[in-house]
Structure 1
Amino acid sequence: MIPARSGNIISTGSVCSYIGGGETHAYTCSKHAIVGLTKYAAVELGQFRIRVNCLSPYLLATPLANNFARLDHDGLENLANLNSNLKHVTLKAEDVANAALYLESDEGRHVSGHNLLIDGGFSIVYPSTCFSTQNKIENE
């Protein structure tokens, strides 16, 4: 990318990269680190016309998330919809893919160093209701 003086790097974070207490400390720290690395790389690589951004989705019903939450696909989607501020819109993998396409496209040509939250407004309304280790301990 540097020799070509062009490129686009997109990393995947999580809504936990924006809020605290959404997950275990290790998971949350790793997602904050991804955002920090994204910002640093954007500064370092901008001189070569290389853009660096991060996508941070909220709860997405995937097999890994289903296993972690011990819920089936529909149960996880219902939980995500309950906590999302954007009602009657379920986050799908295609939504994350479309955000990546935007960042890769000419329309996103001036976006770099950004952490794009794909969370239906969750992070601005309900940060205290997410899955925290403390809530799990108190409920056991």
Structure 2
Amino acid sequence: MLTPKACLCSKKEYSVEPISGKKFIELFQPSSLDMPSDIENTLKNIIDILKKDSPDLGIPINISYRKIKSIRSYHNVVGPMMSTQSRYTAFDYAVSQHLIPLLNGYGSQFGKRLENLEKELPDDMEKSRKYLNKLINYGNQNMFNYGISL
């Protein structure tokens, strides 16, 4: 049984002050929308694969400027916090949260589009690759009907 004298925890006092709304927004506001060139090229290639207008790849998917801006913002705000992991970690989370849910289509041709996308993703983008692989596998088992229900 521990007595109060045996307690190893310190009783430091912490000053808790509210953060203003303006300061809170500043903390999560990206200072820039620029990304490193390798990540920028990966984003460009992903967008090109998704929007390519070809009957061999099924229906194209257009990514809005707002969605691209959200991905860039996410990467630039969260990226420094995840720098101990892969340099693609923040971008991986952004793609898995902002782009993968947009991937809805049908037909084996659309499946080819998704397979092309999977080949484009770097190995470090484990989360996006995992969700995309599930999407492809479930779609192949569901008469080539691809959509997020993961």
Provide TM-score, normalisation by structure 1.
0.30
Larger radius of gyration: 2
Provide TM-score, normalisation by structure 2.
0.28
Structure scoring higher RCO (CA < 8 A, sep ≥ 6) equals: 1
